[in-house]
Amino acid sequence: MVVDELTDEDVNRMFRALADATRRDIVRRTLVAEVSVSQLAAAYDMSFAAVQKHVAVLEQARLVTKHPRGRERMVRGSADGIRQAQRLLDQFEQVWRARIDRLDALLAQDDPAASA
């Protein structure tokens, strides 16, 4: 299943990143506004280094971008990365809907009340 030429490793990286509640929260915060890593660290009960690691995982998954502004590192959510994840999930949904439609058709064939 290919979304914008994503490799299996890209997809794995994306979903591993999104599997963690803290990382999902970081994505949510950074889609609303650009935030420094220091500001993010202040929002969580963990070390600055731990937050940096979470941001690095999200950056590798292309769900956020990080750039310097003076002495700070600013983090911004990637709308393109989120759209890729959404398109991938949409493809999975299409597969499941097609399976349900086929199952409904098979059940309708076996239902004597449907042919009456």
pLDDT of residue 107: 87
Cα angle 69-30-38, degrees, rounded to a multiple of 5? 50
Domains of the chain, each with CATH number or no CATH: 8-115 (1.10.10.10)
pLDDT tens string for the chain (116 positions)? 444 578 899 999 999 999 999 999 999 999 999 999 999 999 999 999 999 999 999 999 999 999 999 999 999 999 999 999 999 999 888 988 888 988 888 888 876 765 55
Q: How far apart are CA 26 and CA 95, in angstroms?
A: 30
| pLDDT value of residue 2 | 44
pTM of the model: 0.78
Q: Do the beta carbons of residue 63 and residue 18 sit within 8 Å?
A: yes
How far apart CA 25 and CA 77 sit, in angstroms, is: 11
- Alpha helix ranges (H) inside the chain: 8-18, 21-32, 37-43, 48-60, 79-110, 112-115
